Chain A
Amino acid sequence: MLEGLYSAAAGMAAQQERIDGVANDLANTSTTGYKHVRIGFRDLLYSAQGNGAGPTVMAGSGAAAELIGRSQGQGPMQDTGQPLDVAIQGPGWIQVKREDGSLALTRDGSLRLDAEGRLTTKDGLLVQPPIKVPAGTSPQDISIAADGTVRVGTAPPLGAIKLVTVPAPDGLQALGGNLYAASTASGAPMDAADATLTQGKLEGSNVDVGDAMVEMIDAQRSFQLASKAIQMQDQMLEIANQVKR
């Protein structure tokens, strides 16, 4: 009886998860290389009402939210003028080695040189494969070509920043700190054919604040709607209770 109480509660829980996702997006509107989440919804099981109702009369169990993945839309290019800032254009990631030795992917191209002259992320993780510039090289003399080739002045290339991609980016596991790990759901990293690097720029977050705000309003109102259904079901239970005074 009155399964609707639980269906509506499931709907509220789904909207809450959506609000969590949007809130996280809004908190990352200035995060370099951040990609906003894609939240999906689905309806849940239907079961026969029985109780003298026709066979097609079903009680639905509400809704659930699910994470489809992340939008891979390009973020805006921000000019920084820093020679070690690189922005990735197209589907690709820079591969870095984490402290525990595992590989991770990032689109945050604000690179640094460590004490030994190796290219690292701003958190000090080594770019893979490693690229080392001669001691005493000024960052201003380093040039990074669109295909990732790193040169100092007119000397021969020191190596290239390799860009990789995965077959199913939605399956990438977010590690925080702008890092993602390849998983069985994403497939193994492979060379990115359609991605290029631009020196002196960074890729901004692809969160559209306007869209995110509209999404937030929609989620709040849908949350309210579902709560109204719960109130109504509660009042019906009260009325049913008063049949016997």
Chain B
Amino acid sequence: MERGLYIAASGMIAEQMRQDQIANDLANASTPGYKADRVTQKSFADLLVSNSATGQVVGPLNMGVGADKMVTDVSPQALRDTGEPLDLAIAGEGFFAVQTAQGVRYTRNGQFGASTQGTLIDAAGNAVLGQNGQPVKLGAQGGVDAHAVGVFALTGPAKQGDNLFTGTAAGAATGTVRTGALEGSGVDPARTMVDMIASFRAFEAGQKAIQTIDDSLHRTATQVASVSGSA
């Protein structure tokens, strides 16, 4: 019986994690090149419950649920025209590469600027790399040649923050670079709100289950031995 308390609590904890992810998505509804996440849940291993007196099998008992994986949807999003010559977007698959102090990182956020050396840099000052791994040089007018900017296919992209992804580059990707545009955020507000409500109700249901079990335990403790039948 009291197992149910912990099973319901595990569900509430898993929903909390989902809500954290949803809040982060909603906070990034305007972040160019942001990729939305999804938290998947899995049930813990089932236990086989049997009658301890007769040994007769009652059936499997699930021990609750846990947040299993976070999956990032890296599919390309719609591009938005900005008219800024150093706003870049990738139409199709692929990532920009930037040279950070920790090594090469990848991003879909193309809000770039110019460095004093006349090269293309991101908002944090990291050099944007061409397909050859060298910093991209700007043209005489301060613009950038879209073909000079590298677009890399990435295996195992994982978020690092600051719009950067880690992963292993696997050559050129199929996407093409557009100047004067940015990729929108991958957050779909309507879908995220629905997910948020669904998760909220699941959380609430977990609480109700705990209260119901608590009620039953209360009655067991106070009424089973009551002779008069009054609580």
Cα-based distance from A69 to B122 in the complex (angstroms): 11
Residue of B nearest to A188 (CB): B116
Whole-angstrom distance from the CB of B198 to the nearest CB of chain A? Answer: 11
Residue of A nearest to B210 (CB): A243
Cα-based distance from A52 to B17 in the complex (angstroms): 11
- Which chain B residues border A90 with CB–CB below 8 Å? 141
Chain B proximity mask over A1-44: 1 for CB below 8 Å, otherwise 0: 11111011011101100100000000000000000001011111
Q: Which of B48-56, B157-165, B168-176, B221-229 contacts A (4 or more CB under 8 A)?
A: B157-165
Give the residues from 31 to 77 in chain A that come closer than 8 angstroms, CB to CB, to chain B. Answer: 38, 40-46, 49, 51-54, 56-63, 66, 68-69, 71-73
Among B17, B22, B70, B84, the residue within 8 A (CB) of A73 is B84
Q: Is the CB of A40 within 8 A of B32?
A: yes
Give how many A-B residue pairs fall within 8 Å (CB-CB). 205
Q: Is the CB of B113 within 8 A of A239?
A: no
- Which chain B residues border A38 with CB–CB below 8 Å? 84, 87, 111
Cα-based distance from A5 to B19 in the complex (angstroms): 9
Is A216 in contact with chain B by the CB < 8 A criterion? Answer: no
Q: Is the CB of B114 within 8 A of A167?
A: yes
- Which chain A residues border B200 with CB–CB below 8 Å? 232, 235-236
Cα-based distance from A47 to B126 in the complex (angstroms): 23
- Which chain A residues border B34 with CB–CB below 8 Å? 41, 43, 63
Is A147 in contact with chain B by the CB < 8 A criterion? Answer: no
Is B216 in contact with chain A by the CB < 8 A criterion? Answer: no
Is B146 in contact with chain A by the CB < 8 A criterion? Answer: no
- Which chain B residues border A56 with CB–CB below 8 Å? 69-71, 158
| Contacts known (A41-B28, A185-B116); A49 close to B67, Cβ less than 8 A | yes
- Which chain B residues border A171 with CB–CB below 8 Å? 116
Among A54, A228, A229, the residue within 8 A (CB) of B66 is A54
Is A194 in contact with chain B by the CB < 8 A criterion? Answer: yes
Is A240 in contact with chain B by the CB < 8 A criterion? Answer: yes
Q: Is the CB of B161 within 8 A of A43?
A: yes
Is B179 in contact with chain A by the CB < 8 A criterion? Answer: no
Among A14, A52, A232, the residue within 8 A (CB) of B196 is A232
Is A157 in contact with chain B by the CB < 8 A criterion? Answer: no
Among B28, B115, B140, B159, the residue within 8 A (CB) of A63 is B28
Residue of B nearest to A244 (CB): B214
Q: Is the CB of B17 within 8 A of A7?
A: no
- Which chain B residues border A173 with CB–CB below 8 Å? none
Among B24, B68, B84, B158, the residue within 8 A (CB) of A60 is B24
Is B13 in contact with chain A by the CB < 8 A criterion? Answer: yes
Q: Is the CB of A228 within 8 A of B193?
A: yes
- Which chain A residues border B210 with CB–CB below 8 Å? 243
Q: Is the CB of A225 within 8 A of B189?
A: yes
| Contacts known (A18-B30, A60-B159); A170 close to B140, Cβ less than 8 A | no
- Which chain B residues border A103 with CB–CB below 8 Å? none
Chain A proximity mask over B83-100: 1 for CB below 8 Å, otherwise 0: 111010000000000000
Is B27 in contact with chain A by the CB < 8 A criterion? Answer: yes
Cα-based distance from A38 to B85 in the complex (angstroms): 12
Q: Is the CB of A187 within 8 A of B30?
A: no
Among A69, A228, A239, the residue within 8 A (CB) of B26 is A228
Whole-angstrom distance from the CB of B95 to the nearest CB of chain A? Answer: 15
Q: Is the CB of A228 within 8 A of B196?
A: yes
- Which chain A residues border B26 with CB–CB below 8 Å? 8, 11, 225-226, 228-229
- Which chain B residues border A114 with CB–CB below 8 Å? none
Among A4, A68, A69, the residue within 8 A (CB) of B24 is A4
| Contacts known (A91-B141, A187-B116, A228-B193); A62 close to B24, Cβ less than 8 A | yes
Q: Which B residues fall within an 8 A CB radius of A?
A: 10, 12-17, 19-32, 34, 37, 39, 66-71, 83-85, 87, 109, 111, 113-118, 123, 140-142, 158-163, 189, 192-193, 196-197, 200, 203-204, 207, 210-211
A-B contact pairs, 18 of them (CB 8 A): A7-B23, A8-B24, A14-B27, A18-B30, A41-B28, A52-B66, A53-B66, A60-B28, A63-B34, A68-B113, A167-B117, A168-B113, A170-B113, A226-B26, A228-B196, A229-B19, A242-B207, A245-B211
Q: Which A residues fall within an 8 A CB radius of B?
A: 1-5, 7-8, 10-12, 14-15, 18, 38, 40-46, 49, 51-54, 56-63, 66, 68-69, 71-73, 90-91, 166-171, 184-187, 193-194, 218-219, 221-222, 225-226, 228-230, 232-233, 235-236, 239-240, 242-243, 245
